[in-house]
Structure 1
Amino acid sequence: MSQTLRFLHFDCSEDSAGLASFEAMASVGAAQWPALQAEVAALLDWAHQGFAGVRGPLEEDGDWDYDLHASLETVAALELDYDPAARRLAGGPVGEGLPRYTLTLTLGGTPGFAQALRERFDLGDD
């Protein structure tokens, strides 16, 4: 049974040996952050359970591996307008800044891992 991912949208590339790299980035507000974390945890749980004991760098004969990073920024909207007399943009922040979470996930794997990932998470044929 496949599962559709809500936040992660992967780009995939493959080398001549069929080794695949899936890269995704998601950027969400505070209200969606717990759901994004749960989605990533579910995907990594699937990988750890389904491919237990074979995680590691592909160049060291691992079947799959991952790289995960996140950042937190405060984002404030800007009100901008063009001032034709000064020939430049003018404006400034509007209101208080809000937290914005950005997460990147890269999964690499063998052809078998890549096919299983595509099927489990309905990734199609990238």
Structure 2
Amino acid sequence: MRYAQILYNKAHWIFESDETLEEMYSHRFHHSLLFVDVTNRPEVMEGWDYDGTNFTDPSTPKPLTKEEKINLLNAEFEPLLNANDLAYIIALRNIDSALMDELNNERNILKAVYDTKMEEILNG
């Protein structure tokens, strides 16, 4: 059988033994130590997280929440939109209508991409 010793919510030590958990606790280990049978979980490795029921590989990225995805989207687009706004103000002060039109078109494209990505996050 294969066992994992749990320490600080992690698989600290994984080992094999012919003994059952009951035998190990009665002959070798104190009851204050926590061991979990992982015989049927060959993928579990030392260092994996344990939540009391399931093991998870800590190196596997966890899916982002909607809020995290929105924050990342805003962090990506806010500087672009702000730079566009600033360039538009400068073009306006210089009465450069061609540049103003170009910047307005660029902003519309940025906003459309942003809106599409936001909709994917909200509906996905």
Q: TM-score range, shorter-chain basis?
A: under 0.3
TM (norm. structure 1) is: 0.26
User: Which structure exhibits the higher relative contact order, with contacts defined as CA atoms closer than 8 Å and separated by 6 or more residues?
Assistant: 1
From the two aligned structures, give the one with the greater strand fraction.
Answer: 1
**Who wins on radius of gyration, i.e. which is larger?**
2
Which of the two has greater helix per residue?
A: 2
TM-score by length of 2: 0.27
